[in-house]
Amino acid sequence: MRCVSAGPRRSGPGFTLIELLVVIAIIALLIGILLPVLSGAKSVAQFVRCQTNFRSIGQALHGFANDHDNQKPPAAKFNGPPNFNWFRATITPNTRVGGEPIGLGLLVDQDYLVFTALQDPSRNMAEDRIMDEDRWNESITAGSSYLYMYRYVDDLWSDVDPLAWYTMDRAADLGRHAIASDLNTEEDHGYFGAFPNGVPWVSHPEVGRSNVLFLDGSVDAAENEVMIQRNPPGKNLYHLSRQAWFEEAHAMYSGDPGK
Write out pLDDT tens, residues 100-122.
Answer: 888 999 999 999 999 999 999 98
CA-CA-CA-CA torsion sign (40, 120, 197, 212): positive
Assigned domain for 80 exists: yes
Q: Is 14 among the domain residues?
A: no
User: In this predicted model, what pLDDT tens digit does every residue of 219-244 receive, in sequence order?
Assistant: 988 888 777 776 655 544 445 555 55
The total of structural domains in the chain comes to 1
Domain presence at residue 137: yes
Determine the structural domain holding residue 121 and report its residue range.
49-252
Indicate if the pLDDT at residue 60 is higher than 50: yes
Query: Residue 62 domain-assigned?
Result: yes
Residue 33 included in any domain: no
